[in-house]
């Protein structure tokens, strides 16, 4: 009996790249069949307003076993991908982007490692043909991630990973704010790493805006690391000690009548600094509280409108 790999593709304004992606996946299926591997294919339309959905339905006519999932609106690539997990029946599964920046051909090499017994195969980016600002942000992001969260996380990061079905329950039951690649790495399974250079984007513009990147960064730092909350506790302790020493010096100077009338600038600067510090600390605590609230209010992670 053949083994089966399930591929999940979130789609958001990807009409330009879908024809080439269809062709690549069709060729991939033929090569997987040569390895006695069946292909289960899911496309998740994440609220696209272009011709993406119509193209997906046309592809289903050409390959009837394909599953098309339409969400009610845009929920984001991570949430869109997770919406298909309950339908997965493969022995392994993988998320791939629809923009072809993560080449589908890598799946063949990943499948070979999986057949050899590896449960977790990741494709690490050793270089990327992206705009300079994106490269700088990515470098800082992964540097901070390795410093404060997981020290052995791949330096160049990864999005594409082939996971055995043993990963499914962990991802299905994961938090709504969790970053999937980090969670799968955090689970502790030793990954087999395939290194590749990420090609330049050929189709359209990335919807992965700075605000989305920053939100993902906060989810990673606040969802997997206790460092931020300990950092503000440490800063608070240091400031409290400094304030106590300053207060003690004021009392001593008052006893010996050495307090000048001047000092408004000093007091104003001190109050401004302490109040700003308190506001920052409260904001960080609020970020943690929001994530707790988001998990407990039973709001769905995504809403499926239709399945074909």
- The region of weakest confidence among 17-21, 136-140, 173-177, 269-273 is 269-273
Query: Could you report the per-residue pLDDT of 27-83, keeping only the tens digit for each?
Result: 999 999 999 999 999 999 998 888 999 999 999 999 999 999 999 998 888 889 999
Number of domains in the chain: 1
Domain membership of residue 33 (yes or no) is yes
pLDDT, the chain, mean = 83
CATH code of the domain covering residue 9: 3.90.550.10
Q: What is d(CA 5, CA 104) in angstroms, rounded to the nearest whole number?
A: 13
Domain membership of residue 288 (yes or no) is no
Domain membership of residue 11 (yes or no) is yes
* Angle, alpha carbons 106-107-110 (nearest 5°): 95
Domain membership of residue 269 (yes or no) is no
CB-based contact 82:180 (threshold 8 Å):
yes
Domain membership of residue 71 (yes or no) is yes
Q: What is d(CA 193, CA 189) in angstroms, rounded to the nearest whole number?
A: 12
Domain membership of residue 189 (yes or no) is yes
Domain that holds residue 166: 3-225+300-307
Query: Could you report the per-residue pLDDT of 125-151, keeping only the tens digit for each?
Result: 887 666 777 777 778 888 888 888 888
* DSSP string covering 20-35: HHHHHHHHHHHHHHHT
Domain membership of residue 231 (yes or no) is no
Q: What is d(CA 291, CA 43) in angstroms, rounded to the nearest whole number?
A: 29
């Amino acid at each position: 009996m053949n083994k089966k790999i399930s591929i999940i593709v979130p789609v958001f304004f990807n009409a330009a790249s879908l024809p080439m992606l269809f062709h690549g996946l069709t060729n991939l299926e033929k090569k997987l069949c040569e390895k006695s591997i069946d292909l289960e294919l899911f496309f998740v339309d994440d609220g696209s307003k272009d011709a993406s959905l119509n193209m997906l339905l046309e592809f289903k006519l050409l390959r009837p076993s394909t599953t098309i999932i339409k969400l009610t609106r845009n929920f984001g690539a991570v949430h869109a991908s997770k919406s298909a997990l309950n339908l997965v029946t493969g022995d392994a599964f993988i998320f791939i982007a629809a923009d072809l920046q993560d080449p589908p051909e890598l799946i063949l090499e990943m499948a070979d490692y999986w057949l050899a017994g590896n449960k977790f195969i990741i494709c690490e980016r050793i270089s990327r043909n992206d705009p300079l600002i994106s490269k700088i942000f990515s470098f800082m992001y992964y540097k901070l991630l390795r410093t404060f969260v997981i020290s052995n996380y791949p330096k160049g990061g990864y999005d594409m990973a082939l996971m055995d079905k043993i990963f499914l329950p962990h991802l299905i039951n994961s938090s709504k704010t969790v970053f999937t690649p980090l969670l799968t790495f955090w689970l502790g399974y030793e990954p087999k790493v395939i290194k590749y250079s990420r090609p330049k984007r050929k189709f359209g513009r990335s919807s992965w805006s700075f605000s989305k990147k920053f939100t993902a960064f906060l989810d990673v730092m606040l969802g997997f690391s206790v460092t931020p909350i300990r950092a503000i506790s440490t800063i608070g302790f240091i400031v409290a000690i400094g304030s106590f020493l300053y207060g003690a010096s004021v009392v001593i100077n008052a006893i010996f009548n050495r307090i000048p009338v001047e000092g408004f600038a000093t007091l104003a600067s001190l109050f401004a600094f302490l109040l700003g510090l308190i506001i920052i600390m409260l904001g960080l605590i609020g970020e943690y509280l929001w994530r707790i609230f988001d998990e407990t209010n039973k709001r769905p992670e995504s809403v499926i409108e239709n399945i074909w």
